[in-house]
Structure 1
Amino acid sequence: MPEFDLDSFKKTWQEQPVQQKYDNNEILQMLNRKSRNYVKYIFWISVFEFILFSVMGLFYFFKGEETNGFLNVLEKLGAEKTPEIENTFDNIYMILKILSLIITAYFVYKFYQNYRKIRIEENLKGLITRIIQFKRTVNAFILISILLLVAFTSIFTVFIIYSLNSQNIEPKNSDLTIFIIGVILTTGLSILLIWLYYRLVYGIIMKKLDKNLIQLKEIDSQEI
């Protein structure tokens, strides 16, 4: 009986060609399906956000809490509560809310559109392009959400200053300083919370989508 050579056996086994479990077409189909699912998740999250913000906006608008909070700030700065100020603020608030909902609805539609396109896309390069476009849409949505917050705060601040000037009121330096610092801190904290929210909720899904994109590009380079 010949002597068994373990080292020779290991060398022979290592030199054997490794058979791929899946071919590129099967991998492409799996990545396509996963990518569609990730885009679908973000679409449904955005739908939930749109519905939640719409309900909250209507609730607080009819309850009048935004107006009350606004008037409290004005009164602390020495301004007088007048029907004209209330009506003007209500109109500005309504316009900004409607604008915000329109922009959110637009991105919900864009996410759905991207999902539909990826769903029927079979071409490899086309799929890569769709994913890249989707990533840009998500980044634009996050950026515009932050810009909307800054716009809301800026208009709110300008209107307070305008209301004070229209009544010829000069608030104390200490009150004005506290107000400005409060606006800056509140805006900064809100931006941080928005960034953390999108980083956690959208970021987890986008990381997985990025992995798919890397694999798709590898398959594309092999075909070339």
Structure 2
Amino acid sequence: MPDFDLDSFKTTWQKQPVEDKYNDSEILKMLNKKSRNYMKYIFWISAAEFFFFTLFGFYYIIQDQESSSFMSSLQKLGVEKNAELKSNLENIYLVIKTITLLVTGYFVIKFYQNYRKIRIEEDLKAFITRIINFKKTVNAFILINIILFITFTSVFTCFVFYVINHQNVHLESSEKTGFIAGIIISTVLCVILIWLYYRLVYGIIMGRLDKSLKQLKDIDSQEN
């Protein structure tokens, strides 16, 4: 019986060619399909946000709770409640809600258009470009939402000081400092929460999309 050399057997086995489970064409199709799905998820999330804000806005318009709550805060500063002030507050809230819905609605449409433009049989370079553009759209959506929040907060702050000056309300320096500090702190905290929300909701999907994009770029570089 011939001697059995285990080391020689292992060396021979390791040198045997290993066939790829999937070829580049199959991998490309899978990556394209996964990328389309990630874009679809972002579209549906943004659409859900749009409908949520719409229903939320209508609810508060009917209940009239936002202006009443803000009015109570103004009264604590010594501002006198009147019809003109109430009307101005309602108009500001209406403008803010309208702008928010228009911006969100615009990006919902953009996400949908980007998703619809993706084709599995599309040229690889064109497909990579579309993914990159989609990522830019998502980042713009997040950035604009944060900018809008800071802008709206600034508008309310200016409105408060306008009303205080218009009604000749006397505030101590400590009260003004405390009021401004409270606005700054609350604004920073809200911006952080908004960023964390988008980082959590969109970040997970965008991370997976980045991974697919990297693999697509690797395939493209191999083909070239």
**Which residue does 1:59 correspond to in 2?**
59
**Which residue does 1:35 correspond to in 2?**
35
Partners in 2 of 1:26 and 1:170 — Cα distance? 73
Q: In the TM superposition, what is the alpha-carbon distance from 1:121 to its structure 2 partner?
A: 5.4
**Which residue does 1:143 correspond to in 2?**
143
**Which residue does 1:88 correspond to in 2?**
88
1:56-113 deviation per Cα after TM superposition (whole angstroms, max 9, x unaligned): 1111122111111221121111111111111112112111110110000000001101
Partners in 1 of 2:120 and 2:19 — Cα distance? 30
Q: Provide closer, same or farther for how the CA distance between residues 121 and 43 of structure 1 changes in structure 2, counting only shifts above 3 A.
A: farther
**Which residue does 1:124 correspond to in 2?**
124
Query: Which amino acid is 2:212 matched to?
Result: N
Of stretches 28-37 and 168-177 in structure 1, the one that deviates more from structure 2 is: 168-177
Query: Which amino acid is 1:170 matched to?
Result: H
Query: Which amino acid is 1:91 matched to?
Result: N
Q: How does 1:43-192 map to 2 (within 5 A)?
A: 43-119=43-119, 122-192=122-192
SS at match of 2:156: helix
Q: In the TM superposition, what is the alpha-carbon distance from 1:175 to its structure 2 partner?
A: 2.2
* TM-score, L = length of structure 2: 0.96
Q: In the TM superposition, what is the alpha-carbon distance from 1:171 to its structure 2 partner?
A: 1.4
Q: In the TM superposition, what is the alpha-carbon distance from 1:176 to its structure 2 partner?
A: 1.7
Contact 2:36 2:118 in 1 (8 A): yes
Query: Which amino acid is 1:30 matched to?
Result: M
Contact 2:43 2:111 in 1 (8 A): yes
Contact 1:67 1:90 in 2 (8 A): yes
**Which residue does 1:193 correspond to in 2?**
193
Query: Which amino acid is 2:156 matched to?
Result: F
Structure 1: give runs of 5+ residues left out of the alignment: none
1:167-223 deviation per Cα after TM superposition (whole angstroms, max 9, x unaligned): 122212222222112211211111111111111111111111111011000100100
SS at match of 2:194: helix
Pairwise CA RMSD: 1.2
Query: Which amino acid is 1:88 matched to?
Result: N
* TM-score, L = length of structure 1: 0.96
**Which residue does 2:24 correspond to in 1?**
24
Query: Which amino acid is 1:17 matched to?
Result: P
**Which residue does 1:7 correspond to in 2?**
7
Of stretches 116-125 and 157-166 in structure 1, the one that deviates more from structure 2 is: 116-125
Contact 2:29 2:120 in 1 (8 A): no
Query: Which amino acid is 2:123 matched to?
Result: N
Which of structure 1's runs of 4+ aligned residues deviate more than 6 A? none
1:22-52 deviation per Cα after TM superposition (whole angstroms, max 9, x unaligned): 1111000000000000100010000110000
Identity rate, percent: 60
Number of aligned residue pairs: give it: 224
Of stretches 72-81 and 132-141 in structure 1, the one that deviates more from structure 2 is: 72-81
Partners in 1 of 2:121 and 2:84 — Cα distance? 55
Contact 2:32 2:120 in 1 (8 A): no
